[in-house]
Copies of this chain bind each other. A is one copy, B any other.
């Protein structure tokens, strides 16, 4: 089953009963999977909306009415959803948004890329909000994290993003779907009609500044809580490592391939793979930096997660960077070459500031 379809199937199993989306490569198979299969479920609604903007607002409505809801797109389409995502965050509506990133900016291309990290983790929309961002790196994780995304969205009443790329979406790997947890969420906010009781409303507009501030801090406290509780990462071959690659998603897979090669060459290299990009596993990375002093951040971009790594490490370790933006997926061989050249000399000096982004590759700065 293709990655895109794995997400679709996992969503349906997790109880997603509303999907709205607009075609865009490289995530069309997910939309198509939902067109085919969601409508067959009991009460499942699939809408190919007139635009990405309509789609995000449709899922806001469906979510307010109590359905587990999802939309998906790829980079340019995700940019168009920013107002809607900000609005869902403000209204505290759960919902799952899949971004199968492609090369950008602009129309860019449809190849696997990781250029939307900032947008995803820093709120590409306006205002003080954050979106939980999960970055799968295997077919199995596509399934598991999709299910988790729905649970987290419900738990915290907030939009959750699955951030992957065309390679994850196209790739086929054996997957086992776990039994979904029963849905748990505070039904109090769901609109079902006032019945005989008090009517309620869901809104993001709060004209009074003091009230609005209160709401902002309420959200901020929620985000703090999420930061403390929901970080996820994988640490791989780091025990004896002299150097650790920091990479997520597709890049992390390439890194694993590279590490196998590097180890066979006798170089002790490990991997730190953030799974939750927001909240970034700052604490975990910091702990690792207690005995590892050389990191190399590898992204399929010109360097975005790099900021989070630097914020986490605060100069306690050396940070190198290697980036291949624009849809290029370097091979493990290439990455291992780069890493081996940067492999630390004994007693290498720790430079607290990243004075230049160290980039290798044909077009490095």
Report the separation of the CA atoms of residues A39 and B361 in the bound assembly, to the nearest whole angstrom: 50
Q: Does A185 reach chain B (CB closer than 8 Å)?
A: no
* Contact yes or no, B213 A326, CB < 8 A: yes
CB distance from A100 to the nearest CB of B (A): 11
* Contact yes or no, A108 B205, CB < 8 A: yes
Report A301-315 CB contacts with B as 1/0, cut-off 8 Å. 110100100110011
Q: Does A349 reach chain B (CB closer than 8 Å)?
A: no
| A window 44-87: CB within 8 A of B | 53, 75-76, 78-80, 82-83, 86-87
CB distance from A265 to the nearest CB of B (A): 27
Report the separation of the CA atoms of residues A213 and B362 in the bound assembly, to the nearest whole angstrom: 9
CB distance from A51 to the nearest CB of B (A): 10
* Contact yes or no, B119 A123, CB < 8 A: yes
* Contact yes or no, A315 B104, CB < 8 A: no
* Contact yes or no, A125 B105, CB < 8 A: yes
* Contact yes or no, A90 B109, CB < 8 A: no
* Contact yes or no, B91 A106, CB < 8 A: yes
Q: With A125-B105, A353-B314 known to touch, is A217 a contact of B86 (CB < 8 Å)?
A: no
* Contact yes or no, B86 A76, CB < 8 A: yes
CB distance from A290 to the nearest CB of B (A): 13
Q: List residues of chain B with CB within 8 A of the CB of A123.
A: 105, 118-119, 124
Give the bracket for the number of chain A residues in contact with chain B. Answer: 35 or more
* Contact yes or no, B119 A327, CB < 8 A: no
* Contact yes or no, B302 A220, CB < 8 A: yes
Q: Does A192 reach chain B (CB closer than 8 Å)?
A: no
Number of copies of this kind of chain in the complex: 2
* Contact yes or no, B127 A124, CB < 8 A: no
* Contact yes or no, B75 A104, CB < 8 A: no
Find the residue from A83, A212, A314 having the highest chain B CB count within 10 A. A83
Q: Does A116 reach chain B (CB closer than 8 Å)?
A: yes
Q: Does A247 reach chain B (CB closer than 8 Å)?
A: no
Q: Does A229 reach chain B (CB closer than 8 Å)?
A: no
Q: Does A240 reach chain B (CB closer than 8 Å)?
A: no
Report A265-307 CB contacts with B as 1/0, cut-off 8 Å. 0000000000000000000001000000000000001101001
Report the separation of the CA atoms of residues A86 and B119 in the bound assembly, to the nearest whole angstrom: 11
Minimum-distance CB pairs A-B, first 8: A104-B127, A106-B204, A90-B106, A105-B127, A212-B326, A213-B326, A75-B126, A209-B327
Given pairs A108-B126, A108-B212, A124-B125, 5 additional interface contacts (CB within 8 A) = A106-B204, A119-B123, A119-B125, A215-B326, A217-B325
Name 25 interchain pairs, CB-CB below 8 A, sorted by A. A76-B87, A86-B105, A87-B105, A87-B107, A89-B106, A90-B104, A104-B129, A105-B123, A105-B219, A106-B203, A106-B204, A106-B205, A108-B206, A109-B208, A109-B209, A109-B212, A118-B122, A118-B123, A210-B326, A211-B326, A214-B363, A219-B302, A314-B314, A314-B352, A315-B316
